Amino acid sequence: MDLTIEVEASERGPELRSLRQWLISETELRGRVQTVQAPPEPGTLGPTTDALLVALGPGGVATAVATVLVSWIRRRGGDVTAKVTRPDGTTIEVEATNLRDMDVADVEKFASSVARSLEDTGEQDGK
């Protein structure tokens, strides 16, 4: 299952590249992060980074993605929103403005909640 991560910010491309660096620095996520590039805009020299794809799997990968995402976005200046879309179309939004004033315990709870949302496929496994 792949997650698609998009960033809304004044400098979207650099912010996505920054997030990619944060993600691939985690051992659990190495080899799981791909860059999605948009075709070059007229008058530009090359493609732009449009989104990131992260392959989920067993072993706490969703938790690693959520933890990195929350840590990264808390350190962003300005208004930054990350949108994570699961294959079923469900989108989880994480906004920097909502995280800046949280204490450590609240940030940990929020990251755990995001991780559960990323792992939840909506299937009931026969229950």
CA dist., res. 119 & res. 45, Å (int): 38
Per DSSP, what are the bridge partners of residue 95? 81
Q: In sequence order, which ranges of the chain are alpha helices (DSSP H)?
A: 12-24, 61-74, 96-99, 104-119
127 is a domain residue: no
83 is a domain residue: yes
Per DSSP, what are the bridge partners of residue 6? 83
CA dist., res. 96 & res. 98, Å (int): 5
Q: Which domain holds residue 61?
A: 2-119
Full-model pTM: 0.83
DSSP per-residue letters across 38-56: EPPPTT-SS-EEEEEEEE-
88 is a domain residue: yes
25 is a domain residue: yes
CA dist., res. 98 & res. 10, Å (int): 18
Task: For residue 94, count CB atoms less than 10 angstroms from its CB and return exposed for 0-12, middle for 13-18, buried for 19 or more.
Answer: buried
Could you read off the pLDDT tens digit of each residue along the chain, which spans 127 residues? 899 999 999 888 899 999 999 999 999 999 999 999 877 778 777 777 789 999 988 778 899 999 999 999 988 877 899 999 998 999 999 988 878 788 889 889 999 999 999 887 554 443 3
Domain count, the chain: 1
CA dist., res. 45 & res. 73, Å (int): 29
CATH code, 93 = 3.30.70
